[in-house]
């Protein structure tokens, strides 16, 4: 059956393309005027006064983590450590005796104490069970005394490679675990309930309600800091036949065997789930002072962050490329970004296609590295939403000089970089229209790095398609992924974009049913 989707206009990053999209067998057959195309359609879906845009891509999101944020215990609403204690007590009350408790999204910038809690703070609320509180960035967690004891972590425990434990003057761990040190505890907290498969499906449907038609899904294998979520590849495979959107899986693997085994599981699943490659980490976060910097943080003059990239990571990257996948490496600090670009230069010298190399976040760069990104032809996968949550403290953390090269979207674009956008949810809200707005107004930070309205749309459409190895959006023969929205995102102001309403989302030519009464974010 041939279907015509028509509205007031069809808007892409490249301009307006008439007012209608003709779809045949799930693919774009034509884009143009309704007057010329309606006779070819068996059925028409007309949306008076609305705008059709290409399907929106979130190039970097943690889908199981997003579901956990919607269904689990979060600390978004607290304003002080006493409030944290209340949430912990309430969450622990219905659990079986001794069952572990894991909560997420603590923000030390949002509590009046202005600091991370310690094991003692958590013990005061919950001392009868292992408890772990994750900072919202995911790169720091705080364990209480029972959790440390269950893991055998004490003053004699050395800092692991790529991580560290905060300690009292006598060497006793305070409970604050940074980067890979989180794994020391999560390895022993395995029975906390993560989101169920149906809850993950519900979360993906909510993404569709935001106009998102495909994602770069970061999936863990049941180890690492988020082991409580279980084997996320297994979860996605179990629901692959029912996925409402396309999921391109970037697997967080530590060994070649684990990566290849995950690929085989994904390859055998439904067509909406695709193995895309490997996800690695070069450093941590700005909020947690674990991003790897060339010079110390302005507000922490003894701290330059944590470099996590190793030679074995680069060996694993080569295997992922040999398997036909992409390599996506998390890099926040300028030192980490430079190290990843060095690695990508080596991989390209060994015949790696640049468009299969993704620099995730590219948060703080040097002018030289901005130019290198463009010259190498790699993908810069950026998250405009970070600007919204970091605006109040970013300048103090990196200083005026580095602030000028933090989230430098316009400079990256001018250098010829391939820009793609995502949310990194559950770190941030997955709302792509809010992301477009922040790419334009930047929450007031360094406005010279703003993108224009068409480019802001483009990083969530055309750029996202490149980052996910998808065909060009709305090109003839491409999957018919499109969104009907109540306003034109190119003509709308940033504030108007934040109020945009998606009327319907079409994936492969079929409208996705969405329960719009359900919240899409936790705050």
Q: What is the pLDDT of residues 423-459, one digit of tens each?
A: 999 999 999 999 999 999 999 999 999 999 999 999 9
124: Cβ contacts below 8 Å, ≥ 6 apart: 85
Mean pLDDT of the chain: 96
* Rounded Cα distance, 74 and 288, in Å: 18
| pLDDT tens digits, one per residue of 96-143 | 999 999 999 999 999 999 999 999 999 999 999 999 999 999 999 999
So what's the pLDDT on residue 234? Answer: 96
Torsion of CA 47, 50, 51, 56, to 10 degrees: -80
> For strand 418-421 and strand 43-46, is the pairing parallel, antiparallel, or unpaired?
unpaired
491 pLDDT exceeds 90?
yes
Mean pLDDT on 154-160: 97
Contact (Cβ atoms closer than 8 angstroms) between residue 421 and residue 459: yes
Residue 185 in tokens: 């505890």
193 pLDDT exceeds 70?
no
- Fold category of 73-186 in CATH: Diaminopimelate Epimerase; Chain A, domain 1 (3.10.310)
523 pLDDT exceeds 90?
no
355 pLDDT exceeds 80?
yes
* Rounded Cα distance, 518 and 521, in Å: 9
Helix axes 63-71, 197-209, angle to 10 degrees: 100
Confidence of residue 191 (pLDDT cuts 50, 70, 90): low
Q: Could you give the residue range(s) of every CATH 3.10.310.70 domain in the chain?
A: 73-186
Q: What is the DSSP letter of 227?
A: G
- The closest alpha carbon to 513, from 276, 89, 209, 117, belongs to 209
Residue 381, strand partner residues: 360, 420
- The closest alpha carbon to 276, from 219, 221, 237, 222, belongs to 219
pTM exceeds 0.85, yes or no: yes
- The closest alpha carbon to 132, from 187, 79, 82, 69, belongs to 187
% of the chain beyond a pLDDT of 90: 96
* Rounded Cα distance, 238 and 412, in Å: 39
487 pLDDT exceeds 90?
yes
Q: Could you give the residue range(s) of every CATH 3.20.20.140 domain in the chain?
A: 56-64+194-467+474-511
Residue 23 in tokens: 């779809």
194 pLDDT exceeds 90?
no
Residue 114 in tokens: 């202005």
- Burial grade of 423 (CB within 10 A; 0-12, 13-18, 19 or more): buried
So what's the pLDDT on residue 55? Answer: 98
Mean pLDDT on 318-324: 97
- The closest alpha carbon to 483, from 274, 319, 292, 245, belongs to 245
| pLDDT tens digits, one per residue of 327-347 | 999 999 999 999 999 999 999
- Fold category of 56-64+194-467+474-511 in CATH: TIM Barrel (3.20.20)
Confidence of residue 490 (pLDDT cuts 50, 70, 90): very high
Give the gyration radius of the chain's Cα atoms.
23
169-to-25, 155, 166, 174, 459 alpha-carbon distances in Å:
67, 10, 10, 10, 48
């Amino acid at each position: 059956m041939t279907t015509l989707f028509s509205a007031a206009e069809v808007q892409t990053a490249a301009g307006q393309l008439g007012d209608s999209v003709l779809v045949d067998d799930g693919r774009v057959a034509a884009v143009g005027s309704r007057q010329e195309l309606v006779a070819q359609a068996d059925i028409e879906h007309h949306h008076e006064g609305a705008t059709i845009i290409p399907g929106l891509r979130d190039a970097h999101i943690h889908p199981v983590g997003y579901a956990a944020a919607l269904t689990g215990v979060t600390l978004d609403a607290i304003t002080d450590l006493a409030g944290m204690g209340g949430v912990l007590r309430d969450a622990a009350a219905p659990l079986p005796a001794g069952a572990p408790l894991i909560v997420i999204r603590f923000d030390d910038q949002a509590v009046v104490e202005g600091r991370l809690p310690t094991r003692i703070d958590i013990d005061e609320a919950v001392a009868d069970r292992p408890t772990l509180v994750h900072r919202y960035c995911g790169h720091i967690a705080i364990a209480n005394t029972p959790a440390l004891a269950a893991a055998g972590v004490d003053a004699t425990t050395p800092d692991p490679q790529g991580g560290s434990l905060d300690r009292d003057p006598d060497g006793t761990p305070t409970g604050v675990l940074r980067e890979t040190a989180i794994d020391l505890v999560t390895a022993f907290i395995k029975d906390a309930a993560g989101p169920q498969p149906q809850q993950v499906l519900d979360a993906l449907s909510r993404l569709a309600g935001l106009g998102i038609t495909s994602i770069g899904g970061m999936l863990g294998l049941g180890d690492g800091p988020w082991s409580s979520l279980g084997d996320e590849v297994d979860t996605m495979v179990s629901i692959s036949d029912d996925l409402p959107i396309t999921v391109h899986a970037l697997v967080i693997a530590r060994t070649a065997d684990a990566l290849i085994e995950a690929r085989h599981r994904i390859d055998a699943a439904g067509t909406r789930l695709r193995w895309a490659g490997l996800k690695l980490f070069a450093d941590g976060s700005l909020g947690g002072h674990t991003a790897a910097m060339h010079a110390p943080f302005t507000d922490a003059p003894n701290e330059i962050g944590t470099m996590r990239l190793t030679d074995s990571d680069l060996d694993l990257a080569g295997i992922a490329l040999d398997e036909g996948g992409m390599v996506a490496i998390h890099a926040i600090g300028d030192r980490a970004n430079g190290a990843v670009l060095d690695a990508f230069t080596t991989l390209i010298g060994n015949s790696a296609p640049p468009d299969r190399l993704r620099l995730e976040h590219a948060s703080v760069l040097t002018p030289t590295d901005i130019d290198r990104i463009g010259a190498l032809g790699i993908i810069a996968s950026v998250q405009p939403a970070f600007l919204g949550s970091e605006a109040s403290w970013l300048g103090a953390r990196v200083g005026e000089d580095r602030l000028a090269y933090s989230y430098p979207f316009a400079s990256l674009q001018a250098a010829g970089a391939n820009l793609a956008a995502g949310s990194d949810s559950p770190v941030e809200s997955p709302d792509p229209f809010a992301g477009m707005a922040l790419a334009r107004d930047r929450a007031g930070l360094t406005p010279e790095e703003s993108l224009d309205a068409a480019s802001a749309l483009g990083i969530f459409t055309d750029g996202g398609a490149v980052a996910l190895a998808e065909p060009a959006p709305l090109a003839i023969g491409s999957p018919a992924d499109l969104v009907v929205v109540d306003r034109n995102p190119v003509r709308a102001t940033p504030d108007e974009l934040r109020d945009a309403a998606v009327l319907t989302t079409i994936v492969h030519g079929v409208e996705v049913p969405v329960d719009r009464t359900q919240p899409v974010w936790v705050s």
